[in-house]
Amino acid sequence: MDLFSFFDVDDQGDGALENQDVIAKASRPQLNPKQQGQRKGRSAGDADRVRVRCALADLGKHVAACLDGFKQCGQCWYGKMHAKWRSRFPWLDSATCDGVWGAGCKLCARAGAQSSFAAYAVNSRICLQAQNLKHHSATKQHIRAVQLSLNMQPAADPKAMPSESNLQKVLEHRLAGQSLRSGLPGVAAGSKLKRMQWCLAESKRDMHREFLAKASSVALHYDESLGNLSVFFTASNAHLKVRQGLMAVLPSGNGSADIALRVKRAVTIMCTRGLGAPPRRHVAEVQDPKVDCELRDSIIQKVELLNADAAADEQRASRLLQDGIMVNAKLKRKDVTHAARRTSQPLQ
């Protein structure tokens, strides 16, 4: 079956549509000031003709009853151009719902697409232009609807989850130290590639959270360098399995008390699922990240070792954490690697 013969199936003329439930309600067109002035001098019968013009299903009757004409009325313009557009846009159709007329796409309506054409809500003169119809023909939703209508395998949905092989390619690319600025040919580019990278990182953090929830002992390691405070963890469970990872990287604190609060903040970040997720264009509602308070309190109670370098403020921060926040910490340790000193002069 060719494309044009398919479009003619079930075609019963203007206003025909099988799935009437997908037709959305559109706003009733308002009269312009000039038209409102003309209505004052008309009879009640003429006024009634104007009020019911959008409820007329037959285009010929509507054109005869409409006071606006095809220069202002979308339905009149559709009636004039429909025969010409039929050959270029065979999917174009019109229907009425609750007395409101509208043009739309019969294929997008059958496919359940979400657009004004699928809802038969295109009824203004300015929207019913050949360039807008041409633009709709090139949209991904319409192309997908055509493929479904012809029993063809539709192209991959851009909203769908990336394949495991593509995620593996992104992971290998990043582990090799390569940049994502130029994208990955055949995989993704731009914002989609950033979201894939974040999903990989979030899955790694999920593995950390699962292990930390069942851990028996936790050690925290933190160090300030180049204006940043990096907080790492080492955890072990009852089976003596060990896991290490990064909790967070935060700006350096001002003083020992600020460092102690930032270490606690790093634990909170680790227990916050969905934090830092890149925005998604296809998602209308953005879900706020939520802190797993139970996991956070559990980790704080399991901390038994605080490990920092020889800097005085970090050692004081360890004492503050041990005395006030992480009271179960049994040891606060000075990192011997950072505490080592080099001699530039030979011993005398």
Indicate if 142 and 215 belong to the same structural domain. Answer: no
Partnered with residue 222 across adjacent β-strands are 231
Indicate if 237 and 123 belong to the same structural domain. Answer: no
pLDDT, residue 252, reads 85
The residues, any chain, with a CB within 8 Å of residue 27's CB and separated by 6 or more, are 100
Q: Which residue range(s) make up the domain with 272?
A: 205-339
Indicate if 145 and 210 belong to the same structural domain. Answer: no
Answer yes or no: is pLDDT of 24 > 60: no
Residue whose token pair is 């102690």: 260
Indicate if 141 and 15 belong to the same structural domain. Answer: yes
For residue 162, being part of any structural domain is answered with no
Indicate if 221 and 119 belong to the same structural domain. Answer: no
Indicate if 209 and 138 belong to the same structural domain. Answer: no
Chain segment 294-307, per-residue pLDDT in tens: 999 999 999 999 99
Quote the DSSP letter at residue 213.
H
Which of 149, 176, 191 is the C-terminal boundary of a domain? Answer: 149
Share above pLDDT 90 across residues of the chain, in percent, rounded to a whole number = 23
* Range among 173-182, 261-270, 275-284 rated most confident: 261-270
Chain segment 115-169, per-residue pLDDT in tens: 888 888 888 888 888 888 989 988 888 888 888 888 765 555 555 677 888 888 8
Give the number of other CB atoms < 10 A from CB of residue 321: 25
pTM of the model: 0.52
For residue 44, being part of any structural domain is answered with yes
The distance between the two most distant Cα atoms of the chain, rounded to a whole number of Å, is: 118
Phi-psi region of 242 (alpha: psi -120 to 50; beta: other; left: phi over 0): beta
For residue 61, being part of any structural domain is answered with yes
Tell me the DSSP string of 39-103: HTTS-HHHHHHHHTGGG---HHHHHHH-SS-TTTBHHHHHHHHHHHHHHH-TTEEEEEETTEEEE
pLDDT band at 232 (very low <50, low <70, confident <90, very high): very high
Q: Strands 303-308, 217-225: parallel, antiparallel or unpaired by DSSP?
A: parallel
pLDDT band at 233 (very low <50, low <70, confident <90, very high): very high
Indicate if 142 and 263 belong to the same structural domain. Answer: no
Indicate if 127 and 222 belong to the same structural domain. Answer: no
For residue 132, being part of any structural domain is answered with yes
Which of 149, 164, 192 is the C-terminal boundary of a domain? Answer: 149
pLDDT, residue 212, reads 95
The residues, any chain, with a CB within 8 Å of residue 325's CB and separated by 6 or more, are 260, 264, 300
- Tell me which amino acid residue 268 is: T
For residue 23, being part of any structural domain is answered with yes
Indicate if 91 and 227 belong to the same structural domain. Answer: no
Mean pLDDT of 259-276: 92
CA distance 191 to 197: 10
Torsion of CA 327, 329, 331, 333, to 10 degrees: -100
Indicate if 143 and 262 belong to the same structural domain. Answer: no
Quote the DSSP letter at residue 24.
P
Indicate if 209 and 144 belong to the same structural domain. Answer: no
Which of 106, 123, 149 is the C-terminal boundary of a domain? Answer: 149
pLDDT, residue 35, reads 39
Mean pLDDT of 8-35: 38
Half-sphere exposure of 237 (CA within 13 A, CB side): 11
CA distance 278 to 192: 9
pLDDT, residue 14, reads 40
Partnered with residue 309 across adjacent β-strands are none
For residue 197, being part of any structural domain is answered with no
Count Cβ neighbours within 10 Å for each residue of 234-262 and write b for 16 or more, e otherwise: bbbeeeeeebebbbbebeebeebeebbbb
The residues, any chain, with a CB within 8 Å of residue 21's CB and separated by 6 or more, are none
pLDDT, residue 216, reads 94
Give the number of other CB atoms < 10 A from CB of residue 221: 19
The residues, any chain, with a CB within 8 Å of residue 329's CB and separated by 6 or more, are 303, 304, 305, 306, 321, 322
Q: What are phi and psi of 228, to 5 degrees?
A: -125, 145
Q: What total number of domains does the chain contain?
A: 2
CATH of the domain at 283: 3.30.420
For residue 182, being part of any structural domain is answered with no
CB 235, CB 211: distance < 8 Å: yes
CB 288, CB 275: distance < 8 Å: no
pLDDT, residue 1, reads 42
Indicate if 25 and 126 belong to the same structural domain. Answer: yes
For residue 199, being part of any structural domain is answered with no
Alpha-helical runs (H) found in the chain: 3-7, 33-39, 44-51, 59-65, 74-88, 106-111, 130-137, 140-149, 164-175, 190-214, 256-270, 293-302, 312-320, 336-339
